[in-house]
Amino acid sequence: MPDVVIIGGGQAGLSASVCLAQQDIDHVVLEKDDVGASWRHQRWDSFCLVTPNWTVRLPGQHYNGPDPNGFMSGQAYIDFLVRYAKDFKIPLRRPIEVTRASPTSAGWELETIAGPVNCRALIIATSNYQTPTLPLFANGLSSNILSMSAAEYRSAGQLPPGRVLVVGSAQSGSQIVEDLQIARRDVILSVSRAGRVPRRYRGRDAIDWMNQLGFLDRPATVLDDPRKRFGGEPHMTGRKGGHTISLQNFHAQGVRLVGRVDGVEGTVLYLKSDLRGNIHAADQFSATFCSDVDAFIEQTGLNAPLDEDEPSHAPVTYLDRYEEPTRLDLVDEDVSTVIWATGFRFDYSWINADVFDLFGYPITMRGETEVPGLYFLGLNYLHNRKSGIIYGVGEDAKHVAVQIRRFLEESSVLVSTSESPIRCSPVENSNSR
């Protein structure tokens, strides 16, 4: 049996594999679908990363292309992961779905579709974004209206004629709105309480400033609400080289803005009267970010140019006079499709271990749990803010690999095996959709 099993063939699982190999630890990676499955199946066709190419830094392989400040397409990033798995000879076994994980006296026993698998240590690398979540009242929507999650949306061409209602204005919702706009579709956006940041400010990308200011190194303990560990991200985009997007700019371009959906009865949606507050909250988020950057520049004496105004994204007052609707009749509005950009949920109920908080989120010390031999990787705020993004997963993977080496040595259970007892297809070198 392998010393370690990694569950998940995304960036976290692949990074863990490379780091374990560097520690000369025998292991396999189990993936129920394919390398980078969530990037393949839960993104739309025009999707681009929202973090610059220079943040693509996995153990042993950093972005080295000609455009470090550009933004990879989703397909380009999938290709990157496939090459990474091939170049580092990741011991990937797929398709293998793990349905149960239980501790034993010798380590862990996994129940899989290919039969039981035993190991000394287990790394869960399945991320926060496992299954799209829709509000319960979405079930009340008429079957005459096409209803889909943001993970199911691919392009405007898959939708029937008519207006499109997007529910949720965080990162995914706002990018889908932009995609629909480019396709010249009429859009209504149900605005949530998500922030925004400028794409560039005072000569640098927002992610660069977040890194400089230490935002990406902030631990979960600084959050005023622990649910923010898995909440919506501020809206921004990497499309067409990256640019600022804002609710007021959407409004100026013809997108109708309404408050949050509070209930559904057939073709009638009931709305909260919170649009103004949500727009102001997004603007305040941006203003606070810019103020923090300004203060940092002043304190450090950095030579940073003054920012050029972006008038199309400036806070607006005319929406203060906008009469917010509390009811939306989709038939009257000619809405044919509702896209629910309302986030994802995670489920670790298949892990038989008491290591989860009240929200079902793993309790770890930088990925290591109190249960011997159980580790997590790739989660938001696993160690800090960047733990859940491409830029930070490698650092956590290196740390976990060292901890596993110590665990195996102290337990005197390090076993050298040449192959796993699992029999299934290895990773394919070609990128199949």
Three-state secondary structure readout of 161-219: CCEEEEECCCHHHHHHHHHHHHCCCCEEEECCCCCECCCEECCEEHHHHHHHCCHHHCC
pLDDT at 417 over 50: no
Is it the case that residue 431 has pLDDT exceeding 50?
no
CATH number at residue 125: 3.50.50.60
> How far apart (Å, rounded) are the C-alpha atoms in residues 192 and 52?
26
Task: From 344, 11, 354, 4, select the one nearest 149 (Cα to Cα).
Answer: 344
d(CA 399, CA 403): 6
Domain annotation covers residue 356: yes
| Partners of 235 in beta bridges | 196
User: Are 6 and 28 contacting, i.e. CB atoms less than 8 angstroms apart?
Assistant: yes
The last residue of one of the domains, among 340, 355, 377, is 340
**CA-wise closest residue to 90 among 8, 5, 7, 28:** 28
Q: 268-271 and 261-265: which strand pairing?
A: antiparallel
33 pLDDT above the threshold of 80? yes
Q: Give the residue numbers spanning the domain of 267.
A: 132-340
Core vs surface per residue 338-360: b (16+ CB within 10 A) or e:
bbbbbbbebebeebebeeeeeee
Instruction: Judge whether 420 lies within some domain.
Output: no
pLDDT at 326 over 80: yes
Q: Report the share of the chain in percent with pLDDT over 70.
A: 93
pLDDT of 421 above 50: no
Rounded Cα–Cα distance for residues 245 and 237 (Å): 7
With bands split at pLDDT 50, 70 and 90, how would you rate the model's confidence at 430? very low
Same domain, 63 and 183: no
Query: Mind listing the pLDDT tens digit for each residue in 51-104?
Result: 999 999 999 999 999 999 999 999 999 999 999 999 999 999 999 999 999 999
For residues 206 and 311, membership in a common domain is answered with: yes
Domain boundary among 292, 314, 340: 340
118 within a domain of the structure (yes/no): yes
What percentage of the chain reaches a pLDDT higher than 90?
A: 83
- Checking if the pLDDT of 409 tops 50, the result is yes
Query: Is 304 in the same domain as 353?
Result: no
Residues 160 and 273 in one domain: yes
Helix (H, G, I), strand (E, B) or coil at 21: helix
Q: What pLDDT shows up at residue 55?
A: 97
* Model confidence band, residue 317 (pLDDT cutoffs 50, 70, 90): low
Rounded Cα distance, 142 and 282, in Å? 31
Kindly report, residue by residue over 232-285, the tens digit of the pLDDT.
789 999 999 999 999 999 999 999 999 999 999 999 999 999 999 999 999 999
Task: Based on the fold, state whether residues 56 and 90 are members of the same structural domain.
Answer: yes
Q: Is residue 429 in some structural domain?
A: no
* 144, pLDDT greater than 60: yes
In total, how many domains does the chain have? 2
Is residue 177 within 8 A of residue 254, CB to CB? The reply is no
The pLDDT value given to residue 418: 38
Orientation angle between helical segments 390-411 and 11-22, nearest 10 degrees: 40
Q: What is the pLDDT of residues 342-385, one digit of tens each?
A: 998 889 999 999 999 999 999 999 999 999 999 999 999 999 99
Same domain? 116 vs 249: no
- Residue 228's identity, in one-letter code, is K
Residue 356: helix, strand or coil by DSSP? strand
pLDDT at position 227: 85
Dist CA 108 CA 120 (whole Å): 6
